Amino acid sequence: MIKRMVAYVRYLLPVLILSWLAGMVAELGQVFVAWQTGRILISPSTQLQSLAWTLAAGVILAALCAFAEQYAGHYVAFKVLADLRNTVYAKVERLAPAGLSAKRSGDLLKAVGSDIEAMEVFYAHTLVPIAIGIGFTIILAVGYAQISLAAAVVMLLVAAVIGFALPFFKYHQLAQANAQLATVQATTQQEMLEAVRGRDALLQLAAVDQQMQTVDDQYQEEAPAQQKVGLLNWQKNWLAWVIILASWLLLAAWIGVQTNFSRTLVPLLLAFPFSFRPLLALSSLPDALSKGLGATRRIFALLDTPEPVTNTGEVKLARPIDEIAVDHLTFAYPERSQTILEDVSLTLHSGQIGGIIGESGAGKSTLVKLLMKWYPAPVGTIRINDLSITDIQTQSLWQRINYLPQQAQIFHTTIQQNLTLGDTEITDPAITRVLEQVKLTHRIAQLPQGLQTIIDPTAPALSAGELQRLALARAFLHPSSLLILDEPTSNLDVLNEKIILTSVKHYYSGMVLMITHRSETLGVCDVVWRLQDSHLIVVSER
């Protein structure tokens, strides 16, 4: 994994190294100032001027390097962030649609956002500081060794203890306490938010005091968690400082006796307590490490998800779809034993509207997903335009099909963009026409910004029915010869349901396949099947 992680930033390695070197200089600068101060205090006035100049140069160099370190570090971070996002985007693109239809996709996508950020933090703000800590300590130890070998050894020992032993010793407890605190805080925040969002309900239901009590009770759990983290941090801090101070005193005593308290060692002594700053900053290291590694592992797992094997087939679908034929299809999901579809046959011709009814979970969606080649169908069972679906190039098939799911997919952007999906060749008259067809012209004209109104899916300016009609307009706008509607109206009121069904009937010239569990919806259909116990039977035909 480490190798793979490095591979991701290979071209950024020089910048990372720059950040590392600059960081070490910046940290050493502070020690240098302390050391130089000691030298000034004990030196004769003749040397004062040269000391002053070196000090000034050191200060400026240190400040500049601090700047360079941060800039280079963040440069890497944001580069990595952008790269990772693009990589993940490309991967999800290859996974879609079959690889994304699973229920886990929602959680996965939620995690992706924060994981990518955690990885960014890891590359730029964890790896570099660790390297700085190590490099800084070694350089300083070498410097100390020039003056006193004992000082160098003591310094290394203390550094090892407070930089690495101490964090990892306290790590487990602190990580646990922090994780617990984060969980409780998230719950409190969530309850507060719910209380506020449900304000009107709570007032009407006279449940305000009750809810406030719930929030307060929840907060009672947060306090001890926070105090625990506080205590652990306190222990860590004090332990580190006690170790530094004790070793300082012992070291001073030891080399003092050895060198008969040589005045030339005073600068070294003054610099000693400043020799551990980058290591003290590393104390939250294990936490950052485990977070970063966890996030990386999850992202890599996503990138390694096997891509659906439906991208097979060489034959391009040259003309619009005018016939689909399912012939004795039997299907079960690879990882499940239960047969979803058994000996299913159907044919549908251009201009026809077909309807499939059945209980939820009967396998209606699976059937249409097989028709869309989201899942590979058994060889020879599905033919489109008399071509076996397994031979058809998937992209060319998708170009001919528009699919409207139960929950309209609305993007957080303008109405226009939601319709065109960025296709610049779609003309305004075409948009006007399809909006008219789904009866949205008037409604959208009422919006202050018309077509340019941005729709926020969490708080849309349009009702659910209107959004579904918008999605239908999108399907009308993009040329296709097969329209698949998956429970398009099951959550809609009668008016919207009617509008959708009649506009499909009147304005869509290709073939339509509609799934529903409500039989009222099926009045517009030319042929209706029922899917029951894995079998498909014709219910009505005209």
Partner 1 sequence: MIKQLFKYGRAGRSGAIQQMVDEWLLLVLPVAAGGIVLSWWTARGLNWWGAVVLGGFVLVYAIYFLTPGARQRIQQWTVLAKREIRRDYLRGLFTPSLTDSQELTSNKVIQRDLAGIGRLDSFYGVFLPAICASGFSFLLLIGLAIAWHSWLWLLPILCFLLMGVGMMCLQKISPNINRQYLQGFLRLGGPFLDDLGGMNTLVMYGAQKRYGQSFAEDAEFFRGKTMALLKYQLQSLFILNGLVFATMGAGAFVLYPAVANGGLSIVQAGVLWLLLAQLLVAERQLGYFFHIVMSTRPALKNIFRVIAAGGEVPQSAYTAVTAPVHTVTFAQAGFGYPDGQPLWQDVSFVLQPGQLYGLVGENGTGKSTLARILRGELAPTAGQVQFNQTDIDQLTTADFLQHVGYLNDHPYLFSGTIAENISLGVRNQTDWWQKVRQLGLCAFVETLPEGLATPIGENGRFLSPGQRQQIAFARLVLMNKHIYIFDEATANIDADNVQVMMTVMKRLSESIIVLCITHEWRSIEALAVIHFLTNQHITTGAAPVLYQDNAGFKRLLDTQKEMEAAG
Find the binding residues for partner 1 in span 20-39 (CB under 8 A): 26, 29-30, 33-34, 36-38
Residue 73 makes CB contacts below 8 A (sequence gap 6+) with: 16, 19, 23, 124, 125, 128
Nearer to partner 1, 112 or 528 (CB): 112
Nearer to partner 1, 12 or 536 (CB): 12
CB of 257 to partner 1, least distance (A): 7
CB of 320 closer than 8 Å to CB of 509:
no
CB of 491 to partner 1, least distance (A): 5
Residues 377-416 that bind partner 1 (CB under 8 A): 395, 398-399, 401-403, 405, 409, 411-413
Options 45, 46, 337, 338; binder of partner 1; rule CB under 8 A: 45
CB of 99 to partner 1, least distance (A): 10
The reply on whether position 199 binds partner 1 by CB under 8 A is yes
Nearest residue to 285 via CA among 236, 223, 222:
236
Interface segment toward partner 1; rule CB under 8 A; list 228-236, 290-298, 327-335, 525-533: 228-236
Residues, the chain, total?
542
CA–CA gap between residue 249 and residue 532 (Å, rounded) = 85
Options 8, 85, 164, 461; binder of partner 1; rule CB under 8 A: 85
CA–CA gap between residue 396 and residue 285 (Å, rounded) = 51
Residues 90-119 that bind partner 1 (CB under 8 A): 90, 92-93, 95-97, 100-101, 106, 109-110, 112-113
3-state secondary structure of 348: strand
Nearer to partner 1, 144 or 403 (CB): 403
Nearer to partner 1, 403 or 529 (CB): 403
The beta strands (E) that lie in 136-198 are given as none
Nearer to partner 1, 227 or 347 (CB): 227
Q: Phi, psi at residue 457, to the nearest 5°? A: -60, -25
The reply on whether position 316 binds partner 1 by CB under 8 A is no
Nearer to partner 1, 227 or 532 (CB): 227
CA–CA gap between residue 442 and residue 262 (Å, rounded) = 92
CB of 204 to partner 1, least distance (A): 6
Binding track over 492-511 against partner 1, x by CB under 8 A: xxxxxxxxxxxx-xx-----
ω into 97 cis (within 30 of 0): yes
CB of 400 closer than 8 Å to CB of 439:
no
Q: Which residues are registered as beta bridge partners of 341?
A: 331
Residue 236 makes CB contacts below 8 A (sequence gap 6+) with: 166, 167, 170, 174, 283
Instruction: Give the orientation angle of helix 166-197 with respect to helix 208-259, to 10 degrees.
Output: 160
Nearest residue to 97 via CA among 494, 395, 433:
395
Nearer to partner 1, 261 or 333 (CB): 261
CB of 442 to partner 1, least distance (A): 10
Binding track over 250-289 against partner 1, x by CB under 8 A: --xx--xx--xx-x-xx--xx--xx---------------
Binding track over 129-168 against partner 1, x by CB under 8 A: ----------------------------------------
Options 241, 300, 349, 414; binder of partner 1; rule CB under 8 A: 241
The reply on whether position 169 binds partner 1 by CB under 8 A is no
The reply on whether position 301 binds partner 1 by CB under 8 A is no
CA–CA gap between residue 87 and residue 93 (Å, rounded) = 10
CB of 60 to partner 1, least distance (A): 7
Size, binding site for partner 1 by CB under 8 A: 145
CB of 424 to partner 1, least distance (A): 9
The reply on whether position 453 binds partner 1 by CB under 8 A is no
CB of 319 to partner 1, least distance (A): 17
CA–CA gap between residue 378 and residue 388 (Å, rounded) = 10
Instruction: Give the orientation angle of helix 285-304 with respect to helix 48-95, to 10 degrees.
Output: 30
The reply on whether position 248 binds partner 1 by CB under 8 A is yes
Nearer to partner 1, 216 or 533 (CB): 216
Interface segment toward partner 1; rule CB under 8 A; list 128-136, 187-195, 323-331, 381-389: 187-195
Angle at the Cα of 147 (from 145 to 153), degrees rounded to 5? 35
CB of 471 closer than 8 Å to CB of 409:
yes
Options 149, 182, 301, 421; binder of partner 1; rule CB under 8 A: 421
The reply on whether position 238 binds partner 1 by CB under 8 A is yes
CB of 311 closer than 8 Å to CB of 99:
no
Q: What is the DSSP string of 513-533?
A: EEEES-GGGGGG-SEEEEEET
Residue 2 makes CB contacts below 8 A (sequence gap 6+) with: none
Nearest residue to 529 via CA among 354, 403, 327:
354
Residues 324-353 that bind partner 1 (CB under 8 A): none
Angle at the Cα of 314 (from 313 to 317), degrees rounded to 5? 95
